[in-house]
Every structure is written in C-alpha cells, then in structure tokens.
Amino acid sequence: MKIAVCLKQVPDTEAEVKWDIPKGTLSRDGMDSITNPFDEFALEEALLTKENYDGEIIAISMGPEGAKDVLRNALALTVDETALCCDDAFAGSDTYATAYVLASAIKKAGDVDVVFCGKQSTDGNTGVVGAELAAILGFSQLTQVGKVRSIDAGAKKIVVERAVEGGIEVVEAKLPAVVSVIKGINEPRLPNLMGIRKASKIDIPQWSAGDLGVDTGKVGAAGASTKVVEIAVPPPRGAGEILKGELEEVANMITDKLIDLKVIK
C-alpha cells in the first residue's frame, strides 16, 4: 500500500505570536519552527498503517528549505521517502494553490492509496487543504477522523470513525482517499537517537514547479484567488479588579456591578 502524509512546518505558537500587520501574515522572523501538531497525529497514523498493512510512506511538505527539518523528523521515524515542494514561484500561495502543489507531488509519487493530513494547521488554520487535495485528485475525502477501523487496498476500501457532535459516525469510502485526522487519534511516537542519526545523513529531494509540472500562473501570490486584506489583533485586556470584604458584601458588590453592566436586571 502506498501512503502519503502531508506535513506542514509552522511557527511554534507556544511562544508569542507576532503578526506582520501590513502584509497580513504571521511574522516568522526569529520564531522557532515545528511540525504542525495535528500533522504529528497524521504521521503516526501513516506509520501505524504502514506497520499494519505493509505499506510504504512518502512524507511531503511545501515550504521553504527550512521545512526539510519536518521531513527529517519523519525520516527519523522511518518514513521511506520524502519530498519538499520548494520553489520561489510557490511563495505567497493561498490554500488552493498549496493543495494544487501538494496534489501534483502526490501524483508524482504515483499510485498513492491513502493520504493522511492534519485536521488543520496552527498558523493558516483554514482546515481546507485536505478537502481541496481530495477535490483536485478526485479522491474520497474523510474529515474529522478519530479512528481508522480498516483499510483494504485490494478491495479499494477504507472504514473510519468520524467524530461528530455527540458521537461517532462510521464511514466506508472508496480508495484512494484523503484522511484528515483529529488530535488524539493516536499517540505520536518520538524518534530515537539511532533514527535521528540515520535521518541526518539522508538527502531530501526538492521538487520545483518544473519537476512537478505545476503551472506557475496558478501558484504564488499572483495565482492566489484569495487575499488577506486586513489583519487585526484584539486590544489588550484592561486590568481586572479584586473585590475585598466579607463573602456577602463581595456577592452584593458583584451583583451591583452586573446590574450596572446590564448583564442582569
């Protein structure tokens, strides 16, 4: 079985998020980068699928050269192949252009049965790349997947559990399919020292627009059909107030304040 997993490099938002307000983008300057946390679950699901169904995995990322770190981590966890889609023409791509490039890479990888993605990224946060990938490739799309029950590459069938409001939905779909996974579907493993050492010596192929047969008029800022026209950060919260006194006294003060604010009558 051929498995692809899409891994995005994102800024480590555990640290303070900085915005480039005029450009309408996240400012990545001086920020540490990590694998999109949702994609760690996608990667673990790809590894489990490989182990359970005897497959091979290609991990794909689109981004600048630095995104190789994400792929190197995947190599340390024993993915078989990697590809970084990297070209100046891709800079400024919107979600559809990103999906178009990733779909071209998946086609180039050849005969992929299942593509694992995260539910969303923690920076762009649109949660649409998986669906766009499925649409471009003509694959089945399974979103919000909390468990993969079975995959039958011979019968070209996959059965998953989708997390829905108040329960689960069991869905059977035709392969090939794009599966977008949610947090908690599994417990992502960590690479060991030997894996890290081995991965550090492996060359990561870089695929340009030309290598992928991508129409450069459809990617980058010029090819983007969406544009961030404004970005704003919420104003900082004012200092709170600590009410002092006996319990009943404080309760009355709170009640008066809520009445003043018209929260209660």
Ligand X SMILES: Cc1cc2nc3c(=O)[nH]c(=O)nc-3n(C[C@H](O)[C@H](O)[C@H](O)COP(=O)(O)OP(=O)(O)OC[C@H]3O[C@@H](n4cnc5c(N)ncnc54)[C@H](O)[C@@H]3O)c2cc1C
Residues near ligand X (CB under 6 A) are 6-8, 25, 36, 38-39, 42, 61-63, 91-95, 98, 102, 117-118, 120-121, 123-130, 224, 226-228
Name which of 7 and 47 has its Cβ closer to ligand X.
Answer: 7
Q: How far is the CB of 53 from ligand X (least distance, A)?
A: 20
Name which of 74 and 129 has its Cβ closer to ligand X.
Answer: 129
Name which of 144 and 253 has its Cβ closer to ligand X.
Answer: 144
Of residues 137, 114, 15, 117, the one with CA closest to residue 61: 117
Name which of 55 and 118 has its Cβ closer to ligand X.
Answer: 118
Name which of 61 and 104 has its Cβ closer to ligand X.
Answer: 61
Angle of CA points 36, 42, 43, to nearest 5°: 90
Which residue's CB atom is positioned nearest to ligand X?
124
Structure tokens at 196: 């890290």
Per the CB < 8 A criterion, the answer to whether 26 and 123 are in contact is yes
Note the Cα 93 to chain centre separation in Å.
16
Q: How far is the CB of 240 from ligand X (least distance, A)?
A: 34
Q: How far is the CB of 191 from ligand X (least distance, A)?
A: 19
The two beta strands, 9-11 and 114-118, are unpaired
Per the CB < 8 A criterion, the answer to whether 178 and 141 are in contact is yes
Q: How far is the CB of 90 from ligand X (least distance, A)?
A: 8
Per the CB < 8 A criterion, the answer to whether 61 and 9 are in contact is yes
Structure tokens at 186: 């599994």
Name which of 118 and 146 has its Cβ closer to ligand X.
Answer: 118
Name which of 37 and 191 has its Cβ closer to ligand X.
Answer: 37
Q: How far is the CB of 44 from ligand X (least distance, A)?
A: 13
Q: How far is the CB of 115 from ligand X (least distance, A)?
A: 9
Structure tokens at 91: 């800079």
Q: How far is the CB of 171 from ligand X (least distance, A)?
A: 19
3-class DSSP state of 244: coil
The DSSP annotation for 172-234 comes to EEESSEEEEEPTTSS------HHHHHHHHTSPPPEE-HHHHT--GGGSHHHH-S--------P
